[in-house]
Structure 1
Amino acid sequence: MKSARAAPRKHIVSARIKPPSESSSEGNRGFKYHLWKAIKRTVLNVLLVVILFVVLFFTDGFWLCESPFQISPINLSDVEKTTTSSKSTKKDESSPPTSAAGENFELMFVDHLFENVVSGPESFAFYGDYLITTCADGKVLMLNPNNQSEPPTVLYSRCDTPVSEKHCGRPLGIEMVNNRSIIFADSYHGLFSVNLETKKQTRLFPRHDDNDFDLMNSTFKFLNSLQVHEDAIYITHSSAVYQREEFVNAFLEPDCSGGIIKLDRKSLEHSLILSGICFPNGISTDSLDPDYLIVSELAKARLLRVNKHTGEYTVFADGLPGYPDNIRTDGKGFWIGFSAVRFSAVSEMIYERPFVRLVLKHLNSMRLMNPVNLVPPYGLVGYVNSKGKLVRLLHDPSGQGSQKISEAAPYKGHLYIGSYHPKFKWISRYQMKT
């Protein structure tokens, strides 16, 4: 009968081979030991960060730190004073706002469309009675608000089942062109057009025949929003360093490597007309002069007015009460979706203190804490007139009607409101008051 003890391997020089029962017992202990070490290391890292945070907090260490750049104080001097009643439509000039931000409850009373059909509806285009939206799960959907039981039409999708954001893509800004086609920016894969009649899809940037241009290894790692003109398409790229899934790090750093790309619609040649701005996001044509673009510089909570030919810019609207995302014009002014508010104590501590930014970026990079989850679930939309004055704010302090807003698009007397967050599973529709 052969011995149960196995012969040693040639490269093992151990003097004794342990029985299977003993080896198994040690293997189990080894697994538990290494698991405990990993947990202990993670806990100790977090504990050290918390201790350092507390020490600096109580010694005024991080309160004395200067911000890496200046963000203008919130300016609401031109915002109309509204009552807090959800059913009142009259202005009450003698009644002060209920908070420093002129809080009201307008966005709490909205319709929820397409619940659990959409995920993170980012931006909107309109095709007759149909609504088209880009979604956080990598899809572009065409929906019928007048018949929500009608199945959505999938206009763009790279994955049948979720794999990863980078693989499946993340469509963001979208525009309707000649009431026949849509053009949208997939943050990872480029700029695409889809003919709504034939459903033909074409990649515009990088050009469909240019397989040598690697977008993710270029300086355009984070395509975001776009504005279509007759001869060119203007695209914001939010960072030359970080991709979309790392947008929190780009914001917290803060990273100011973003810019505006100009894409010639005939030749599909591209050029960079502006660089060195901090997280450019939404973009729209100036309602007074088509030679200018209005661009949201999210990290500085302001809007820029950019000459589309020279790239020269001035500050158009400053001291905004939130961080501006997409911009939509009604031909007179601009509706702004705010991805987060600035006027809560938590938001101020998180976003306007450099030490806190550093700690949160470290924790986010370690996948231990996502700062987005610390932000209060607040919904805020603003209206900026053609002179750059913020004149109206719509609030949802509860976050139940809308929150973490990416866009508020006006169409036929309503605002269609979306969110960049994947857990936002509906489209909010707000009926505008005349």
Structure 2
Amino acid sequence: MPALIFSSRFLFFTVTLPLLVSIALYRLDTFDPAHHPADSLVYSNASIPPLINDKLLTGAEFIGVGLLNSPEDIAYHVDSGLIYTGCVDGWVKRVKVAESVNDSVVEDWVNTGGRPLGIAFGIHGEVIVADAYKGLLNISGDGKKTELLTDEADGVRFKLTDAVVVADNGVLYFTDGSYKYNVHQFIFDILEGKPYGRLLSFDPTTRLTRVLLSGLYFANGVSMSPDQTHLVFCETPIRKCSKYYINGGRVEVFIQGLPGYPDNIRYDGDGHYWIAMPSGVTTLWKLAMKYPFLRKITAIVAKYGYEPMFMENAGVMKVDLEGNPIAYYHDQTLSHITTGVKIGNYLYCGSLSHSRIIRLDLLKYPAQNKKL
């Protein structure tokens, strides 16, 4: 009899009670995920390019190890040869890259007091920063002056100013990833599955901020076409990049069904875009994207400080001007790659979680045809 009582108590406290608590937490929690668009749940090999390097870390070099705290975006200033990147501690840092990464120099340049993400260069030598907390910033005078350009549109403040690009006429185009969640809460935006993102513009002459598109699913990276007629922007959770035509506002698909979740997209000046993906599509991600109740459970767990959505197989995809996949550089053991920028013969990768910039020699370690 004592053994039976012990067994019953053991079962109650280890199985029944946790189950009842979990059900109560689920029912009481107000988090209400939505269904994702049906086309975002289609998985195929159509977007897999013919050329693959699935061992990106093999041969990769690391720049600024320990000196760059989550360098999310990368912008290369051709005239000075400096790389600008924004870190989680608020610093916009400048990196002078040498032939040997060990000789690279990292400089603390300007601290925004927020979380600098996207970085671009203005037409008058300014550095434009999309700061997740502050808004769109203009840094001039070689770092001596920081000016807030805009932090709201249509009466709605930006919650997650994300990526920015500058047109030849000086107009700034940028994204607000979510007007509901900030950068430290971004996982809840993705898990909720509702379109809180916006694509916007800011005209430095008129000081006017315009909402170009709303209702986007975590609006992320944005890039200008070489002919300046349209933007290409990414929506992370639905694995899609679209074109937005500046004259007329027409929108069309650029590439969809990506093998990962797109972050920043960069044009290399040589007829190609580079799309960074912090994680590849995993079985766990597939199930969560398909079933809202699983995303609710995931969100509840995340509220207690756990990161249940494991990130793996991050990489960067090279596509042509029509969105046709050309090459894919990734690694199963890699995560949180947020930017891929081609500078000369090298691919430079920023990250949301690592304390370094990754550099890969594309001539020594090319993507190859796996069918050969």
Q: Same fold (TM over 0.5)?
A: yes
2:109 corresponding residue in structure 1:
155
Query: Tell me, what secondary structure is at the counterpart of 1:106?
Result: coil
| Residue deviations 1:114-138 (CA, integer Å, cap 9, x gap) | 1000111111112322211111221
Q: After superposition, where does 1:12-23 map in structure 2 within 5 Å?
A: none
Contact 1:75 1:318 in 2 (8 A): no
Q: TM-score, normalised by structure 2?
A: 0.82
Change (3 A) 1:50 1:262: same
Alignment match of 1:370 (pick from 281, 301, 307)? 307
2:10 corresponding residue in structure 1:
none
1:326 corresponding residue in structure 2:
264
Cα shift at 1:49: 3.3
Cα shift at 1:103: 6.9
1:73 corresponding residue in structure 2:
42
Change (3 A) 1:415 1:151: closer
Q: Which amino acid aligns with 1:153?
A: E
Alignment match of 1:405 (pick from 337, 342, 360)? 337
Distance (Å, rounded) in 2 between the aligned partners of 1:123 and 1:108: 22
Contact 2:195 2:216 in 1 (8 A): yes
Distance (Å, rounded) in 1 between the aligned partners of 2:41 and 2:319: 17
Q: Does 1:272 align with 2:211?
A: yes
2:127 corresponding residue in structure 1:
182
Q: Does 1:119 align with 2:49?
A: no
Contact 1:78 1:391 in 2 (8 A): no
Distance (Å, rounded) in 2 between the aligned partners of 1:66 and 1:184: 32
1:144 corresponding residue in structure 2:
96
Distance (Å, rounded) in 1 between the aligned partners of 2:320 and 2:159: 32
Query: Tell me, what secondary structure is at the counterpart of 2:263?
Result: strand
Alignment match of 2:182 (pick from 243, 250, 262)? 243
Cα shift at 1:281: 0.2
Distance (Å, rounded) in 1 between the aligned partners of 2:20 and 2:344: 53
Q: CA RMSD in A?
A: 2.8
1:192 corresponding residue in structure 2:
137
Q: After superposition, where does 1:46-57 map in structure 2 within 5 Å?
A: 48-49=21-22
Contact 2:274 2:340 in 1 (8 A): yes
Cα shift at 1:326: 0.3
Change (3 A) 1:330 1:150: closer
Contact 1:107 1:379 in 2 (8 A): no
Identity of counterpart residues, as a percentage?
Answer: 24
2:3 corresponding residue in structure 1:
none
Contact 1:155 1:194 in 2 (8 A): no
Cα shift at 1:425: 1.0
Distance (Å, rounded) in 2 between the aligned partners of 1:378 and 1:313: 30
The higher radius of gyration belongs to: 1
Q: Which amino acid aligns with 2:43?
A: I
Alignment match of 1:425 (pick from 331, 345, 355)? 355
Distance (Å, rounded) in 1 between the aligned partners of 2:255 and 2:325: 7
Aligned length: 336
1:89 corresponding residue in structure 2:
none
Cα shift at 1:196: 5.7
Distance (Å, rounded) in 1 between the aligned partners of 2:352 and 2:25: 32
Distance (Å, rounded) in 2 between the aligned partners of 1:224 and 1:376: 20
Change (3 A) 1:378 1:271: same
Alignment match of 2:315 (pick from 352, 365, 380)? 380
Cα shift at 1:351: 3.4
2:29 corresponding residue in structure 1:
none
Q: Structure 2: where are the runs of 5+ without partners?
A: 1-12, 27-32, 367-372
Alignment match of 1:234 (pick from 173, 187, 208)? 173
Q: After superposition, where does 1:244-259 map in structure 2 within 5 Å?
A: 244-259=183-198
2:330 corresponding residue in structure 1:
395
Query: Tell me, what secondary structure is at the counterpart of 2:220?
Result: strand
Cα shift at 1:388: 1.4
Alignment match of 2:85 (pick from 113, 116, 133)? 133
Cα shift at 1:390: 1.9
Q: Which amino acid aligns with 2:61?
A: D
Contact 1:108 1:398 in 2 (8 A): no
Q: Does 1:108 align with 2:58?
A: yes
Cα shift at 1:111: 0.4
Contact 2:175 2:220 in 1 (8 A): yes
Q: Which amino acid aligns with 2:349?
A: I
Distance (Å, rounded) in 2 between the aligned partners of 1:347 and 1:251: 11
Query: Tell me, what secondary structure is at the counterpart of 2:258?
Result: coil
Give the strand-richer structure, 1 or 2: 2
Alignment match of 1:317 (pick from 255, 262, 273)? 255
Q: Which amino acid aligns with 1:192?
A: L
Alignment match of 1:169 (pick from 102, 110, 114)? 114
Cα shift at 1:393: 0.9
Distance (Å, rounded) in 1 between the aligned partners of 2:141 and 2:83: 12
